[in-house]
Amino acid sequence: MIEFTLPALGADMEQGKLLEWKVKPGDAVARGQVVAVVDTSKAAVDVEIWQAGTVAELLVQPGETVPVGTVLARLRAPGEKVPEGPARRRISPAARQRAAALGVDAESLPGSGPEGAVTLADVERAGAEKPSPAPAPERMPDMRQAIGAAMSRSKREIPHYYLSEPIPMGRAQSWLDAFNAGRALPERLLMAVLPIKAVALALKRFPELNGFYRNGTFEAGSGIHVGVAIALRQGGLVAPALHDAADKPLPALMQALSDLVQRARSASLRSSELSDPTVTVTNLGEQGVESVFGVIYPPQVALVGFGRVSPQPWVEQGVVMPMPVMRATLSADHRVSDGHRGALFLAEVRERLQHPETL
């Protein structure tokens, strides 16, 4: 049996409300298929499954709010036989769910229902006998609170260090102007994609800035999935992943970014986009700030910030010239990297942006 559990869609998610099942018992599901829609405090998310199989039973009903890790459904693995005979206890879905919530082993309880089925009442009885911990306080499903919780955790647990580097953007700007000049509106690139691509490429040489710090150790990311901070119109933000950003040509990256922004704002993100980012990029230059020193989104270990591109006096080969300059910043986790490597990383991002044609 495969257990399909409610995934944590980001560090700030503790529970989710099942809105809709996209599958029913008996359906075959493929890896990566969207099987359910779950409401987090931030958005309704299309939840994907990562194992193929056949849906055996759905354990949580639409409308129920359950903690992260709750078994939502059971599936038979490919080739797995439908179990038969008396070995299998009959347990009502409600009883099973309640048992999970109470931490009671429903399989071991005496059943008072038809054919010895374990009922909700059996579970409640067992739960009452078991000394129970104090109930968790009811939490408002509020985005501000969720962001506050994640950022508090970050500031409490992650020893941040911060670096800042001005990047001349003259070459990138000229290259972009020329690229866009011959193209119709829908094919044009925004400046925002160049720094994202530069970060993704630079991370290939700095794996200690790309991944997760969990259970006291660093796990390097299996890919470079750049979380992009997207402000939502109603307030708050999400930072879903641009998957494999280093491998996408700029037009494909632009398309993916445009699609991601649109779906973030219409609340139709996929679960993998929320759980996969291995690093975050935030760009606040549009709001006019020169630089942003971000708070790392746990369990990630780095956040790269970009400020506005503005003309400044710049000295190159002893000559002062006007130059569009953008300030890049790095917030990184001192448990995993240090300022020396962080500085080399920012230098690599700057260097990449001097050769926009290679991005």
Partner 1 sequence: MNDDSRYAQVISLLQEIAPEVEPEELVRDQPLRRQVDLDSMDWLNFLIGLHRAFGVDIPESDYGRLVTLDDVVGYLRRKAG
Q: Return the residues of window 297-356 that contact partner 1 according to CB under 8 A.
A: none
Supply the DSSP symbol for 327. Answer: E
User: Residue 37: enclosing H or E segment and its boundaries?
Assistant: strand 34-39
**Shortest separation between residue 276's beta carbon and partner 1, angstroms:** 21
Q: State the Cα–Cα distance between residues 31 and 146, nearest whole angstrom.
A: 29
355 half-sphere exposure, CB direction, 13 A CA radius: 8
**Shortest separation between residue 232's beta carbon and partner 1, angstroms:** 11
Q: State the Cα–Cα distance between residues 358 and 346, nearest whole angstrom.
A: 17
233 contributes a contact to partner 1 by CB under 8 A: yes
Three-state DSSP state, 32: coil
192 contributes a contact to partner 1 by CB under 8 A: yes
188 contributes a contact to partner 1 by CB under 8 A: yes
181 contributes a contact to partner 1 by CB under 8 A: yes
Q: State the Cα–Cα distance between residues 226 and 243, nearest whole angstrom.
A: 7
81 contributes a contact to partner 1 by CB under 8 A: no
Q: Which of 184, 315, 319, 320 binds partner 1 (CB under 8 A)?
A: 184
Under 8 Å between Cβ of 303 and 297: yes
**Shortest separation between residue 306's beta carbon and partner 1, angstroms:** 12
Q: Which residues of 242-276 are buried (b: 16+ CB within 10 A; e: fewer)?
A: bbebbebebeebbbbbeebeebbbeeebbbbbbbb
Q: Return the residues of window 247-286 that contact partner 1 according to CB under 8 A.
A: 257-258, 261-262, 286
Question: What does the per-residue mask of binding to partner 1 show for 89-108, with x meaning CB under 8 A?
Answer: --------------------
Pick 87 or 184: Cβ nearer partner 1: 184
Positions that interact with partner 1 (CB under 8 A)? 177, 180-181, 184-186, 188, 190-192, 231, 233, 257-258, 261-262, 286
